[in-house]
Amino acid sequence: MKLLLENAHIEGIRYYEAYRKHGGYRSVEKALKMTPDEIVEEVKKSGLRGRGGAGFPTGMKWSFLAKPEGVPRHLVCNADESEPGTFKDRYLMEFLPHLLIEGLIVSSFALGSNATYIYIRGEYAWIPDILEQAIAEAKNNGWLGKNIQNSGFDCEIYVQRGGGAYICGEETALIESLEGKRGNPRIKPPFPAIAGLWMRPTVVNNVETLAAVVPIINMGGEEYGKLGVGRSTGTKLMSACGNLNKPGVYEIPFDLTVEEFIFSDEYCGGIPNGKRLKACIPGGSSVPILPTNLLLKDSKGEARQMNYESLSEGGFATGTMLGSGGFIVLDEDQCVVRHTMSLARFYNHESCGQCSPCREGTGWMYKILKNIEYGKGRKEDIDLLWDIQRRIEGNTICPLGDAAAWPVAAAIRHFRDEFEWHIDHAEEAQTRNFGLAHYADPLPVVTA
Amino acid sequence: MADNIKVTIDNITIDVAPGTTILEAARQIGGEVAPPTMCYYSKLKGSGGKCRTCLVEVSKGSEKDPRPMPKLVASCRTGVMDGMEVKSMTSDKVIDARKGVTEFLLLNHPLDCPVCDQAGECHLQDLSYENGSADTRFEFERRTFEPEDIGPNIQLHMNRCIMCFRCVFTADQLTNTREHGILDRGDHARISTCISKALDNEFIGNVIDVCPVGALTDKTFRFKNRVWFTKPVDAHRDCPTCSGKARLWMRGEEVFRVTARKDEWGEVEEWICNTCRFETKDAKDWVVEGPTKVNRHSVISQGHYAGKVGTAKQPVLIDKVIGKQPKLTFDIHSESEVNKPNIHLSQIEGPAHSDDFNTPG
Ligand SMILES: Cc1cc2nc3c(=O)[nH]c(=O)nc-3n(C[C@H](O)[C@H](O)[C@H](O)COP(=O)(O)O)c2cc1C
Ligand code: SF4
Ligand code: SF4
Ligand code: FES
């Protein structure tokens, strides 16, 4: 069942007329007849969890928002989407801009935000125009501006482009950047719910999270909460890339198995050229990479499903995370060392440089990985890498430090022999890949 | 005023005012329980949280919510709660993290102490002495920058900078024009005045004092002497711009350097102006109050200046912290004969002369 992308392929859905004709803005009509607290209650009931990566329950986040007398509050939509492998928000904004605007209006009303901001990644150069067009259309039709639909509620939405820094996706760095400052994450507390944008109470939510508010209001929180499995409710957008026959953005039900997602024709359609699956990062570059055997089955031997709980089953020892839904697939020809090096380079480049473990550690890891990849590695380097990532993780200001540490940790945890082979066969490793070894099918079931 | 609350750090319980940070509480206990700080500066608003040397373990959140905190926290930016229990030097996790941070801070730091004016009073030296290891595991080229003059009296050695942001806060909070900031990000970030714009503000000299390392140094003192061959005295003068309370670093009758006075934690007590710092170097212009008491546990205090290293509470602490003794309370002269004066400098009336250093006792 599709809740977000249902109408994505309708001709002209990007524009107001077609969007409205197919049921658009109904949720605003419904919401304006409710009280803000009732909307928050519906979102709570829906069990919706943040789609930006951390999976924090949205209703709970909303209820933490401080409401001091006479102080404006703000909703900020996080459209910075810079996590390698993640491109679902772009798809949503590009093809269904009105869905986001609709979600933003309902959410702004629920949170009492008269000025709402969309902070969009600088590289998405063509999308602000699409959003601004949609905002103008919504305004012309009385959904934005002063006293919308005669409800007495004023709402404006502004689009702000970022400068192209991954770190500006971290909510407090985003707020700093939005204020016109250098995008350094703030030291918390205070949290944005108390003192965010211009030190006013602020909620920062992901694009997909805010779009999901539309079906929640339309169908009711309780109905929405019935979809999915356990604490993973509703549906999820996945952006699939890498060695797949049909990479792209898919809306999935949470009870879909990983195997079906990769191999079925309805979704990614399997691995091209008859190659075999080696490994996968299911939730964007920051989450741990898993070899096939651990990816398809969890530590109890059950088929892994595409939801928060199932993917993280077994902790980091055998599991990973759903993260932001950036699903990266590696076939048997891919080299995990090279892949890890390339991620390490990314985090090194994107660290804001405020705190010493992340600033210095990311560069160090990258340099060591580069040595290993180019045949200059030493046996001790593997343990050294482990030691560095261990001393970054948990010791930094913002989660970018963890995000830099986890991919390295997981690669060593699950692919240590590939690293060792690279070091021991330095010359050979320049000409061929390690291949599959024991990672792929037939699956040796791992019991933790 | 709200009632005081109780917090226990390394098995020592103390009453503090609500709103106190763990670090400030630890400093009230004193001595080595206080975590090292490379970026926090109590006089600079918004400082701290960056270097991560002050990480501590909260083993009990509070009386109300006794759960331990899942991660180590930056003590300089975490408030205490009633009944909180904190481990600083008694936690192996903390010691390990501190070792890690020390290693990270040294990664790109040029080990050029022999030609660095900060040597002897450098907080990174102290930190490394206390928490570092003898070898480096970093086998790559360090990032390098050319030294840069920022203004007529200050030189920036970006190679040595640890990105503590203190100088940025100082420039921001003591002067009216913000000319000083950070360019780039990550390990290629650097302190800059944007095209080397001169920082000619009456109070900008204080960035030298807040810099924990030798990245910002005093050009009027550059290469003139080693700090441990000069003897600090507290002195004052009538100054129309600042309080005029300063510290003179003398050898014989000559004033080699003027700095602000610093407290036991290495923080400036009162900011001084550029005229006092850079232009008033004649002993006759100052009223000398007497030799400085250095009670900071630092390389600088190794028997040269002060009678006693550490604070009075120290004997109690050693037994409370279960045999963990910080290295800096050892007497360096039991290991090294270098520059061992035969008399404590603080016992010499007036400034010390070369002879005082050259006759090992
Ligand atoms: C380094 C870093 C980058 C992030 N980038 C994004 C991003 O591009 N988009 C996003 O929605 N959340 C991103 N996040 C997560 C946000 O900090 C925040 O948790 C999220 O916007 C909250 O929205 P949600 O509750 O709707 O998920 C990032 C976090 C970190 C630490
Ligand atoms: S963890 Fe990295 S990105 Fe986050 S504040 Fe620290 S240096 Fe900046
Ligand atoms: S120059 Fe000194 S004070 Fe400024 S950030 Fe670097 S180390 Fe800190
Ligand atoms: S002193 Fe606390 S983080 Fe630097």
Domains located in chain A, CATH noted: 16-226 (3.40.50.11540), 232-331 (3.10.20.600), 336-431 (1.20.1440.230)
Give me ligand 1 centre to Cα A235, in Å.
19
Q: Test B185 with A352 for CB contact under 8 angstroms.
A: yes
pLDDT range class, residue B333, cuts 50, 70, 90: low
Contact A22, A10 (CB under 8 A): yes
Q: What pLDDT is attached to residue A381?
A: 97
Contact B69, A416 (CB under 8 A): no
Q: What pLDDT is attached to residue B121?
A: 85
pLDDT range class, residue B328, cuts 50, 70, 90: low
Give, in order, the Cα–Cα distances in Å from B3 to each of B7, B15, B82: 13, 9, 10
Q: Which of residues 207-266 of B touch A (CB under 8 A)?
A: none
Testing ligand 4's pocket by substitution, the residue of B27, B42, B56, B76 carrying the most ligand atoms inside 8 A of its CB is B76
Mark out the alpha helices in A74-126 (DSSP H runs). Answer: 88-95, 97-111
Give tens-digit pLDDT for A370-394.
999 999 999 999 999 999 999 999 9
Q: What pLDDT is attached to residue B129?
A: 82
Testing ligand 3's pocket by substitution, the residue of B162, B179, B183, B199 carrying the most ligand atoms inside 8 A of its CB is B162
Distance of CA A168 to the CA centre of its chain: 14
Q: Test A395 with B100 for CB contact under 8 angstroms.
A: yes
Q: What is the mean pLDDT of chain A?
A: 95
pLDDT at residue A112 greater than cutoff 70: yes
Give tens-digit pLDDT for A320-357.
999 999 999 999 989 999 999 999 999 999 999 999 99
Ligand 4 interacting residues, C-beta cut-off 6 A: B 37-40, 48-54, 74, 76
Please report residues of A whose CB lies closer than 8 A to that of B182: 182, 353
Distance to chain A for B7, nearest Cα, Å: 20
**SS3 (DSSP) at B2:** coil
Please report residues of A whose CB lies closer than 8 A to that of B52: 355-357, 395-396
Give tens-digit pLDDT for B68-92.
999 999 999 999 999 999 999 899 9
Query: Which of A187, A349, A359 best probes binding to B when mutated, by most B CB atoms within 10 angstroms?
Result: A359
What number does the ligand 1 atom closest to the CA of A52 have? 27
Testing ligand 1's pocket by substitution, the residue of A170, A208, A210 carrying the most ligand atoms inside 8 A of its CB is A170
B137 touches chain A (CB under 8 A): yes
Q: What pLDDT is attached to residue A443?
A: 41
Give tens-digit pLDDT for B13-56.
999 999 999 999 999 887 778 999 999 999 999 999 999 999 99
Q: Test A384 with B137 for CB contact under 8 angstroms.
A: yes
Give me ligand 1 centre to Cα A138, in Å.
27
pLDDT range class, residue A447, cuts 50, 70, 90: very low
- Among A9-13, A94-98, B117-121, the least confident range: B117-121
Contact A289, A410 (CB under 8 A): yes
A to B CB pairs, distance under 8 Å: 90
Backbone conformation region of residue B292, classed left if phi is above 0, alpha if psi is from -120 to 50, else beta: beta
Give tens-digit pLDDT for B29-38.
877 789 999 9
pLDDT range class, residue A310, cuts 50, 70, 90: very high
B182 touches chain A (CB under 8 A): yes
Closest CB to A361: pick one of B49, B77, B104.
Answer: B104
Answer with the residue of higher pLDDT: A403 or B222.
A403
Question: Who contacts A149 (Cβ-Cβ below 8 Å, separation ≥6)?
Answer: A28, A29, A32, A142, A143
The pTM of the full predicted model, rounded to 2 decimals, is: 0.92
Q: What pLDDT is attached to residue B206?
A: 94
How is the beta sheet containing A235-242 ordered, strand by strand?
A: A248-253, A235-242, A326-331, A277-281, A290-291
Domains located in chain B, CATH noted: 5-101 (3.10.20.740), 114-123+143-218 (3.30.70.20), 227-301 (no CATH), 310-357 (no CATH)
Contact B44, B210 (CB under 8 A): yes
Ligand 1 interacting residues, C-beta cut-off 6 A: A 50-54, 56, 58, 61, 78, 80-83, 166-167, 169-171, 204-206, 209, 398-400, 403
Please report residues of A whose CB lies closer than 8 A to that of B97: 391, 395
Closest residue by Cα to residue B341 from B129, B297, B332, B326: B332
Q: What pLDDT is attached to residue A300?
A: 92
Ligand 2 interacting residues, C-beta cut-off 6 A: A 167, 185, 351-355, 358-359, 396-398, 400-401
Give, for A291, the enclosing helix (H) or strand (E).
strand A290-291
Q: Closest ligand to B212 CA?
A: 3
pLDDT at residue B324 greater than cutoff 80: no
Query: Which of A172, A177, A356 best probes binding to B when mutated, by most B CB atoms within 10 angstroms?
Result: A356
Q: What pLDDT is attached to residue B313?
A: 45
pLDDT at residue A442 greater than cutoff 50: no
Q: What pLDDT is attached to residue B361?
A: 46
Q: What pLDDT is attached to residue B346?
A: 62
Query: Which of B107, B123, B131 best probes binding to A when mutated, by most A CB atoms within 10 angstroms?
Result: B107
pLDDT range class, residue B318, cuts 50, 70, 90: low
Closest residue by Cα to residue B354 from B272, B251, B210, B218: B251
Q: Please state the rounded mean pLDDT for residues A283-302.
A: 94
pLDDT range class, residue A304, cuts 50, 70, 90: very high
What number does the ligand 1 atom closest to the CA of A78 have? 11
Backbone angles phi, psi at B273, to 5 degrees: -90, 170
Give tens-digit pLDDT for A3-59.
999 999 999 999 999 999 999 999 999 999 999 999 999 999 999 999 999 999 999
Contact B345, B305 (CB under 8 A): yes
Q: What pLDDT is attached to residue B316?
A: 46
Q: What pLDDT is attached to residue B267?
A: 93
- Among A288-292, A361-365, A432-436, B155-159, the least confident range: A432-436
Give the HSE-up count for residue A182: Cα atoms under 13 Å, Cβ half-sphere: 13
β strands within chain B, DSSP E:
5-9, 12-16, 55-60, 73-74, 84-87, 148-149, 154-156, 181-183, 190-192, 216-218, 231-236, 245-251, 254-260, 287-291
Give me ligand 4 centre to Cα B84, in Å.
20
Q: What pLDDT is attached to residue B359?
A: 57
| Nearest residue of A to residue B137, measured between CA atoms | A384
Q: Please state the rounded mean pLDDT for residues B339-347.
A: 61
Q: What pLDDT is attached to residue A436?
A: 72
Ligand 3, atom 8: closest residue by C-alpha: B164
Is the ipTM higher than 0.85? The answer is yes
Closest residue by Cα to residue B75 from B52, B98, B95: B52
Task: Determine what percent of chain B is predicted with pLDDT higher than 70.
Answer: 80
A376 touches chain B (CB under 8 A): no
Task: Determine what percent of chain A is predicted with pLDDT higher than 70.
Answer: 97
Query: What helix, strand, coil percent values describe chain A, rounded to 5?
Result: 45, 15, 40
A280 touches chain B (CB under 8 A): no
pLDDT range class, residue B345, cuts 50, 70, 90: low
Distance to chain B for A252, nearest Cα, Å: 33
Contact A235, A3 (CB under 8 A): yes
Task: Determine what percent of chain A is predicted with pLDDT higher than 90.
Answer: 93
A353 touches chain B (CB under 8 A): yes
Distance of CA A123 to the CA centre of its chain: 17
* C-alpha–C-alpha distance, residues B117 and B224, integer Å: 9
What number does the ligand 4 atom closest to the CA of B37 have? 1
Give me ligand 1 centre to Cα A53, in Å.
6
- A56-70, B239-253, B315-329 — which one is most confidently predicted on average? A56-70
Q: Test A355 with B51 for CB contact under 8 angstroms.
A: yes
Give me ligand 1 centre to Cα A286, in Å.
12
Contact A407, A385 (CB under 8 A): no
Give tens-digit pLDDT for A184-217.
999 998 999 999 999 999 999 999 999 999 999 9
Q: What pLDDT is attached to residue A252?
A: 98
Please report residues of B whose CB lies closer than 8 A to that of A351: 185-187
Q: Please state the rounded mean pLDDT for residues A149-175.
A: 97
pLDDT range class, residue B350, cuts 50, 70, 90: low
pLDDT at residue B274 greater than cutoff 90: yes
Give, in order, the Cα–Cα distances in Å from A57 to each of A40, A220, A233: 12, 17, 10
Give me ligand 2 centre to Cα A364, in Å.
15
Residue B193: CB atoms within 10 Å: 20
Closest CB to A187: pick one of B77, B104, B188.
Answer: B77
* C-alpha–C-alpha distance, residues A169 and A172, integer Å: 8
| Nearest residue of B to residue A350, measured between CA atoms | B186
Q: What pLDDT is attached to residue B315?
A: 45
| Nearest residue of B to residue A165, measured between CA atoms | B185
Q: Test B105 with A394 for CB contact under 8 angstroms.
A: no
Contact B127, B121 (CB under 8 A): no
How is the beta sheet containing B148-149 ordered, strand by strand?
A: B148-149, B154-156, B216-218
Query: Which of B93, B103, B160, B161 best probes binding to A when mutated, by most A CB atoms within 10 angstroms?
Result: B103
pLDDT range class, residue B108, cuts 50, 70, 90: very high
Residue A71: CB atoms within 10 Å: 12
Q: Please state the rounded mean pLDDT for residues B191-203.
A: 73
B172, B142, A288, A193: CA torsion to nearest 10? 0
